[in-house]
Every structure is written in C-alpha cells, then in structure tokens.
Amino acid sequence: MNDQTPVADAPLFNPFSPEFVRNPYPSFQLLRENQPLMKTPLGFWVASRYADVQLILKDKRFGKGFDERMKMRNGDDVFDNPVYANMRTWMLVQDPPDHSRLRGLVAKAFTARRIDALRPQIQKLVDELLDGVEGRNSMDFIHDFAYPLPVNVICDMLGIPPEDRGRFQTGSKISGRLIDPTPVSDDEMRQIQEGFEGQSAYFRELFARRRAEPQDDLTTVLVQAEEAGERLSEAELVGNVILLFGAGHETTVNLLGNGLFALLQNPDEYAKLRANPDLMPGAIEEMLRFDSSVQMTGRTAMEDVEINGVTIPKGEHVINLLGAANRDGAAFDDPESFQADRKDVRPTSFGGGIHFCLGAQLARVEADIAFCSLLERLPGLRLDAADAPDWRPTFTLRGLKSLPISWG
C-alpha cells in the first residue's frame, strides 16, 4: 500500500449489511463524495465515480486476473471445485486471447440484426404472458411476467424445449451469489453445486442430441464449433452455455422489475410515457441507469496503475460500482431523480470495454416490447403493496423478490 492510499475507517462499502444491499445508494453518494477510489479493509478497491469506472473498464492495464484472484480468495485448490472449474471457462472471466476467441464464437448470434429479427417471437411471448393475466386486475409482476419472458427468450435461442424449462429454477436463482463480493457459504455452495450438476448433465445430453440432429439454434452453432477442432473445448462449451443460460435468467428479469418499480413510484413519469410511447427507448436507458440490475463488476490491475494521484498496485482487485457511477452528478443532472424523458442517458449498467455486455441489445429489445405492450394493454398500472417490496439478498445482481401490481 502506498502513502496516499485512502483506507476506509467507516464501512461505506459493506456488502455484508442487509441494509446496504437493500438500498446502497446513500453509501454510494458518500463514497463518490469522500472516497471515490478507496481501498477497503477487505483488501480490494472500490471505484464509484462515472469517469473512473469508465476508465478502468476500458483501460487495457486492467484485466480479469480470475485464476489468481480465485486462488487468493479460496486457496490453491479452488479449481478442484467443479463449480469454479466451470466458471473459469466463462468468457466473462477470461482475458485475451481466450476471451476474444470465446466471444467471437457467440457474438454472431447477438448482433443487432439477429436480435432485431427476434422481435416477432419476443412480441408473441409478451402477448401470451399478457393474455394469461387477461380478466384479472392484479399480478406479481416478477413471477407472472418479468421472470418467464427472458427465460423463454434465452431458452428459445439455445433451443431448450418448453417441457425442459422448469427444471433449473432453484439452481440458477442462488448461483448469482457466485459473483457477489462476499464469500459463498458452504450451504450456498452445496445448492449451487447441485444446480450446476443438473444443468451440466442436461446440457451434455442436449449437445449429444444436437450433434446427432443439428437444429437452427445457438447450441448447435456452438456444438459445431467444438466439433470443428481446437476453437472450443468441451468444458468451454458447457461453461459458456451455462453462462448464457444464467445471464438470460438473472439480469433482464431485474431490468423489467426494477424499471417498472421506478416508473410506478413516479406517476408523472408513467403518465409521460403513456402519452408518448416514442420516449420508450430513452426511458429504458433511464431505468438501467436509475436502478441497475447489475451493480458491480471487478477488474485486476495487470501493472501498477495511477488514477487521480492514487496508485493501484499490480495484482490488486478493483470493484467498479456501476450503480454508483450511474448516480454521479458529474455525469447526470439531478441524478437521484427518475426522468423518463432524460436526454442522452449513457448508463454504465452494461459495463464497457472488451467485456461490454453481449446481451445488451437483446435486453433492450425485450424491455422495449415488454413495456410498450404493458402500458398499452394494462392501463392504470399501480403498485399494489402497502409495504415496500422486498429485495433479493444478492448485491451484484439487484432485483425484487416480488412486485405486486394492479391495473384498471
């Protein structure tokens, strides 16, 4: 540690505290104002200002350094655990050249053109979900809409048949703990491992089916890449399909849930959007900014890096607080307010640099179709709960357990 290293004396960043996880924004403000680049007593750094977060995500002197970080945190034998061994193959935690190779194989399925071509299929799923609540005047938005929509979209893309879709729910809900900054307990790890084993056995079987009978789906594309030679190992194939499957379950759900929650807490903004649906794409960026479904992402300094007079030594880890950067007054006017018609919103919610979210366009299109249809078909939407809805206990993936709403 060098002389100018600011070390927190009060825990401004305390992911162990349920209160902080429920509402991190007051701490984020204190961090930005007082300790924008802070070394925590836990040994890692925390960046909270928009400009610093952007810089760290885009600067090639920072990488993932996943293997070293995991060994430091969990011991040299960490990769004997099949869950961490699987995670190690995800493009999300890889550095170039492996990252570029893995991302290149999947990226073709996520181009703006390919995603736009999914619009009719996504609209059909949205219509079916709304048909399902027709004749009612209330629902749990998370359970009845926000969860099934992205899950069915990613399952369609991967070619997972409808009858197989219900079987992984528990496993994937707890697996979000793997990317939290707090250690996973033995009990959580047991559950994650169980879920992981089920998924991995299922996908291996699906790969065998696709080898025998190729289909027009992403799983077939990846299986064929593996068969074609050295470009993708069997372990990487399993790992990255599990990553995509998990990303489809855990992120867009919360864009829809957190977004609708923000909108309905601000009836004037809801009215603006009802009156002018053309505002929708910008309003979705504002939803992403205001209460991001992904709150942080880590990087490791691959060499000593100086930022604003503070040196982050080689090998040390930085947590980039995407949610804090999104409320930085230096980047956004009146950042604590939700404004459906805010102009030129550029949230950090999808990250930046080489790991910029591969599913960003997919998430945007799903949200666009979902919110346009919801606002049109369910007029007079309002929050239903007398008490504030409860947040899930994960920090990195921020979302509501349920969101009771009614209409009409």
Per rule CB under 6 A, is residue 363 in the interface with ligand HEM? yes
Among 181, 335, 359, 389, binds ligand HEM (CB under 6 A): 359
Site string for ligand HEM, 94-113 (x = CB under 6 A): ---------x----------
Sole residue written with tokens 């607080």: 321
Among 129, 345, 358, 370, binds ligand HEM (CB under 6 A): 358
Among 239, 248, 389, 399, binds ligand HEM (CB under 6 A): 248
* Distance of closest approach, residue 337 Cβ to ligand HEM, in angstroms: 21
Per rule CB under 6 A, is residue 301 in the interface with ligand HEM? no
Contact region for ligand HEM (CB under 6 A) — 33-41, 46-54, 348-356, 375-383? 348-356
Per rule CB under 6 A, is residue 289 in the interface with ligand HEM? no
Using Cβ positions, the residue closest to ligand HEM within the complex turns out to be 359
Residue type, 63: G
The Cβ of residue 308 has, within 10 Å, a number of other Cβ atoms equal to: 11
Site string for ligand HEM, 55-94 (x = CB under 6 A): ------------------------------------xx--
Per rule CB under 6 A, is residue 351 in the interface with ligand HEM? yes
Indicate the Cα dihedral angle 137, 403, 176, 116, nearest 10°. 50
Per rule CB under 6 A, is residue 350 in the interface with ligand HEM? yes
Contact region for ligand HEM (CB under 6 A) — 124-132, 140-148, 244-252, 271-279? 244-252
Per rule CB under 6 A, is residue 247 in the interface with ligand HEM? yes
* Distance of closest approach, residue 217 Cβ to ligand HEM, in angstroms: 13
Cα separation, 290 vs 54, whole angstroms: 17
Q: At what angle do helices 98-107 and 234-250 cross, to 10 degrees?
A: 60
Among 357, 369, 403, 405, binds ligand HEM (CB under 6 A): 357
The single-letter DSSP state of residue 242 is H
Query: DSSP for 46-114?
Result: EE-SHHHHHHHHH-TTEE--HHHHHHHHH-TTGGGSHHHHHHTT-GGGPPTTHHHHHHHHHHGGGSHHH
Q: Which is nearer to ligand HEM, 273 or 294 (CB)?
A: 294
E strand or H helix at 300: strand 296-301
Per rule CB under 6 A, is residue 244 in the interface with ligand HEM? yes
Per rule CB under 6 A, is residue 232 in the interface with ligand HEM? no
Q: Are 309 and 232 in contact (CB under 8 A)?
A: no
Site for ligand HEM in 194-213 (CB under 6 A): none
Per rule CB under 6 A, is residue 178 in the interface with ligand HEM? no
∠ at Cα 62 (58, 67), nearest 5°?
130
Q: Which is nearer to ligand HEM, 195 or 351 (CB)?
A: 351
Q: Are 293 and 251 in contact (CB under 8 A)?
A: yes
Strand 45-47, strand 317-321: pairing: parallel
Q: Return the closest-CA partner of residue 384 out of 402, 400, 406.
A: 406
Cα separation, 79 vs 363, whole angstroms: 32
E strand or H helix at 310: strand 310-312
Q: Tell me which residues touch ligand HEM (CB under 6 A).
A: 91-92, 103, 154, 243-244, 247-248, 251-252, 255, 292-294, 297, 349-351, 355, 357-359, 362-363
